Amino acid sequence: MLPNHDALQLDAHGRLRHFLTLEGLGRPLLENIMDRAESFSSVTEQTVKKVPLLRGKTVVNLFFENSTRTRTTFELAAKRLSADVLNINIATSATAKGESLLDTVRNLEAMHVDMFVVRHAASGAPHFIARHVAPHISVINAGDGRHAHPTQGMLDVFTIRKLKGGFAGLKVAIVGDVLHSRVARSEIQALNLLGVQEIRVIGPRTLLPAAVETLGVKVFHTLEQGLEDVDVVMMLRLQTERMSGAFIPSVHDYFARFGLTGKRLERAKPDAIVMHPGPVNRGIEIDPEVADGPRSVILQQVTHGIAIRMAVMSMAMSPDGGDKTA
């Protein structure tokens, strides 16, 4: 368990400096991020899709794990804020030749960069970097191990707010591989902070963390029961690359028990939306007809991810740091 790093993330005035986890942050700051993202949503519809907020700033995408969608949306977000962007190919970088993580950071600092967007297989790597960077540099966590993926959590709740109008009274189901999912942890934290009525996690016992109830969720081991009367269905990818053993009998068996089909979706409310952080494994966690169906908002999540990342980056690097947390 990583310690609470809210003191590391916020400056003395309660403004955002780093964005590493949703743990320890208050509801007002999450709402401020979404409000700012709302103001950026119209930028994508303009002929010139840029605002000058980060002109002259340099953002480094430091990805030690592959993720085309996350890296691309961070890159687009930075460029739409008029920042310069440097993408580091870790596979061919000095890190692959034995250079330490801190040495890599120090060398990039010497190039007078302003922000690191970090994705790493080790939980806590972005926190480690944030503790060692120069005072003017911000660090954004783009996913670390099983720990957190805060911008994904934020873009998901932003999508829910836009489509449902708010959070009061909502029942949200998170289905699948919660054990290996940093996205699920960030979503649960965000949804609890924003005051949804109920969060359900649905999956086989082998894919749920021990004592998961302590996160503020209700646990279901059958999809049909767990989907009953919910407003939002969040499907998770089976993260086989993080599994070291037989967590499920087979992907065929998993789909038979926990795959989201049109028939099973009928258990949810008639206006329930279907979400997925991607990449989508069709026929394993979700039926293609559902993924492409009228209730799916998966592509809207991707679009909203750009606005959320613009909001977080601008709040962390703007002179005023955005609105205060309280």
Residues annotated within the binding site are 69-70, 97, 119, 149, 152, 182, 237, 278-279
Helices (H), the chain: 6-9, 27-41, 68-80, 101-109, 125-132, 150-164, 182-194, 223-226, 251-258, 262-265, 288-291, 298-317
Assess whether the previous peptide bond of 279 is cis (omega < 30° from 0): yes
Q: Which residues, listed in sequence order, are joined to residue 63 by a DSSP beta bridge?
A: 89, 119
Query: For residue 184, how many other CB atoms are within 10 A of its CB?
Result: 30
Residues annotated within the binding site for L-aspartate are 97, 182, 237
Helices 182-194, 27-41: axis angle to 10 degrees equals 100
Exposed/middle/buried for 67, CB within 10 Å: 0-12, 13-18, 19+?
A: middle
Helices 101-109, 125-132: axis angle to 10 degrees equals 40
As a whole number of Å, the CA-based R_g of the chain is 19
- CB-CB contact of 274 with 296 (8 Å): yes
Structure token pair of residue 71: 């890296």
Q: How far apart are CA 144 and CA 186, in angstroms?
A: 11
Residues annotated within the binding site for carbamoyl phosphate are 69-70, 119, 149, 152, 278-279
Q: How far apart are CA 212 and CA 218, in angstroms?
A: 9
